[in-house]
A and B are shown apart, each in its own frame.
Chain A
Amino acid sequence: MAKIVASVNVSHVPAIGAAWDNGKVSEPYWKPVFAGFDFSKRWIAELRPDVIILVYNDHASAFDANVIPTFALGCAAEFPPADEGWGPRPVPTVIGHPVLASHIAQSVILDEFDLTIINKMDVDHGLTVPLTLMFGQPTAWPCRIIPLAVNVVQFPPPTGNRCWNLGEALKRAVESYPEDLRVVIFGTGGMSHQLQGARAGLINKEWDKRFLDSLAGDGQAARAIQFIEYVRETGSEGIEMVMWLIARGALGKKVREVYRFYHVPCSNTALGHLILENAA
């Protein structure tokens, strides 16, 4: 059977993609950011996942103000990088896994998660920046990738608890797939940041650390956090962290913390990164 063996949580700051694409990796500002992923690159190269389920949010790229799906699963064969206003990022096209994705979609719908099925979608920095951080710049991404887009742009987004429960449903879906596949789930976005208004630039390190600690444990404290606490304590865009709960919910009860990295600032954002493996 297929199995979700690990989760990778990571911020998806667009400036990281711009720094990488414009050759700024060794500049003093960016060097510590990319160095924070040296271990992670080795870890995932050794693990050799067959499939990544990549939980991210579309930043008004594939979905506009006309259609706002709360959960949208990418079932296409491939997903080209989006033009977000400065031309598409020079990164490989994302190759999907339509058969597993369709199985997951059907399984979670029968499990009472009424998600939206997407058969044509461009993917923006929310999806491609985590891949750059974990894999650098290969000519092709080294495995199949199933995008799972979550609305965290127009509020209210799904609750943290709902996200966790979706993670559990994804786990059941993957484990009911007959082929032996090693699956890693990415939960991206966050950590504390606010990009708009007079309060822009907010960072809350203590809160972020508590969140990381909770996920590395049983996650139940993080699961119970309400919308208003995210936006008040971690900024209007800190709400992206609900997506980390999908990844945590998709692992078993007991996890082992493999790696953690936290860095301020990354443009406007507290960059957070956490790798967990199933301890069972």
Chain B
Amino acid sequence: MSNDTVRKEPIEGFDDIPGTTLFDAQRARQGYHVNMFCMSLMKAEHRAEFKADEDKYLRKWPMTEEQRKAILERNWGRMIELGGNIYYLSKLFSTDGRSFQFVAATMTGLTQEQYAQMMLNGGRPIDGNRSKSEWAGKENAAAGRTEGQ
């Protein structure tokens, strides 16, 4: 068997940032077919074909069932966890007519209105959001960290 589950962070602290999946070469391998599917949507005729039958179109790429399910459900956070990268995924949400802000909001546990208001208020503060240790044991930590500490 391969050692796909063995992971050594490439830089100290790489995997310590809360609510964040940093995209490195190993994750790029895991998400290769997800990301290449997204790239295909840069052509209008491919977007039309995808919209006509999403499941059929997706079967052209040998991705895992989990990855296909996340795409069909537009579970953006899950796609990122499974090796998708936000700039590749942008081709998919642009095809859907969605913005970066819409997709970012769905990943935070906030409603889109709450998220937009958080940004108008100056964004998510850095204090309390630097390390996984600051989120440990807190329910829905991201949503609870929108105001200054």
Contact = CB atoms under 8 A, between A and B. Distances in A.
Interface of A: 14-15, 18, 59-61, 64-66, 68, 82-87, 153-156, 192, 194-205, 207, 227-228, 231-233, 236-237, 264-265, 267-268, 270
Chain B interface residue number, banded: 35 or more
B137 interface: no
Contacts of A197: 19-21, 77, 80, 107
Contact of B20 (A15, A194, A268): A194
Contacts, number: 167
B104 A198 contact: no
Interface of B: 10-14, 17-25, 28, 31-32, 35-36, 38-39, 41-44, 47, 76-77, 80, 85-88, 90-95, 97, 99-101, 103-105, 107-109, 115, 118-120, 122-126, 129-131, 141-142, 145-146
A156 B28 CA distance: 12
Given A83-B43, A85-B91, A202 B124 contact: yes
Contacts of B44: 83, 87
Contacts of A59: 87, 90
A153 B97 CA distance: 23
25 contacts: A18-B99, A60-B87, A65-B28, A65-B39, A83-B44, A84-B42, A85-B41, A85-B42, A85-B94, A153-B87, A192-B123, A194-B104, A197-B20, A198-B19, A198-B20, A199-B20, A202-B124, A202-B126, A203-B122, A203-B126, A228-B14, A233-B126, A233-B130, A236-B17, A268-B119
Contact of B35 (A15, A60, A84, A199): A60
Say whether chain A's binding surface is mostly helix, strand, loop, or mixed.
Answer: loop
Q: Which 3 A-B pairs have the closest CB atoms?
A: A203-B123, A85-B94, A198-B19
Contacts of B12: 228
